[in-house]
Amino acid sequence: MGVLDIVVASGLTVLLLRALVLRLGYTLGSALLALVFGGLGLWRGLGPGPGWLLWQAVGLLTVTAGEFLLALRSGVGIPRTDVGEVRAQLLADCRSDEGRQQLTLAVAPWGAVMMDGVWRDTRRRDVVIVTGGCPVCLVEEVTAELAGPDAKALAAYRRDRVAGTNRMVVLSRRVGGWDAALERVRASARPFRQVGCPVHC
């Protein structure tokens, strides 16, 4: 087993661990790396290298194709709404007596905004892809509007995001205002990076 085979085997192992254990999901970079190492693995495994490289490569390419399809599917059928409209609707609802009693906001790693609402007798999850603005700014602005710009949770949300950890903001109605708290994101904790936002790129 030559140096090249060791490099290919290490690359395949790291990428497989990334996909299966860390579950970081599909990104263009990870897909390109998977194609490069998967291709090298197929070549070495079928040809001059050890045969088991073939199975590692097939495994990685299959997992990557699955991640790609999942990413594709999760972006289809989700409404796209102007960011200002979403913000105005959320704030109007949260400020009306019959509106949400609790609002949980999170930005998925691929950019959609999750909005879990609890009304007096309903609870519902809405997912939206915002256009014309940045989803992370939306979460921060709504939090600042409801809980105040000095809310501790807002500062913590920004700090954690910069440190590479995505969070959910849980806004709860109390007498005379709203409280904000943070919760961990269960799926992927990788924060979304908005292209074109001067704050969140």
Provide the binding-site residues for Zn ion, judged by CB under 5 A. 134, 136-137, 197, 199-200
The closest alpha carbon to 10, from 53, 65, 54, 62, belongs to 53
CB of 103 or CB of 137, closer to Zn ion: 137
- Residue closer to Zn ion by CB (options 37, 192) is 192
What's the CA gap between 165 and 30, in Å, rounded?
19
Q: How far is CA 111 from CA 80, 150, 187, in A?
A: 11, 25, 14
Kindly report the number of other CB atoms within 10 A of residue 104's CB atom: 18
Structure token pair of residue 32: 């390109």
Q: How far is the CB of 130 from Zn ion (least distance, A)?
A: 10
Query: Do 74 and 145 meet the contact criterion of CB atoms below 8 Å apart?
Result: no
Closest-approach residue to Zn ion (CB): 134
Q: Tell the smallest beta-carbon distance from residue 108 to Zn ion (Å).
A: 15
Minimum Å distance from CB 172 to Zn ion? Answer: 24
Minimum CB–partner distance for residue 143 and Zn ion (Å): 13
Which residue lies nearer to Zn ion by CB, 14 or 197? 197
Question: Smallest gap, in angstroms, from Cβ of residue 46 to Zn ion?
Answer: 47
The residue with tokens 């007596």 is 97
Minimum distance of Zn ion from residue 42's CB (angstroms): 41
What is the C-alpha separation between 176 and 120, in angstroms, rounded?
17
Q: Which is nearer to Zn ion, 117 or 191 (CB)?
A: 191
Strands 80-82 and 123-131 turn out to be: parallel
Query: Residue 61 or residue 112: which is nearer to Zn ion going by CB?
Result: 112
Nearer Cβ to Zn ion (1/199):
199
Which DSSP string do the residues of 79-121 spell out, in sequence order? -EEEHHHHHHHHHHHHHSTTS-SEEEEEE-TTSPEEEEEE-SS
Main-chain phi, psi angles of 181, to 5 degrees = -140, 165
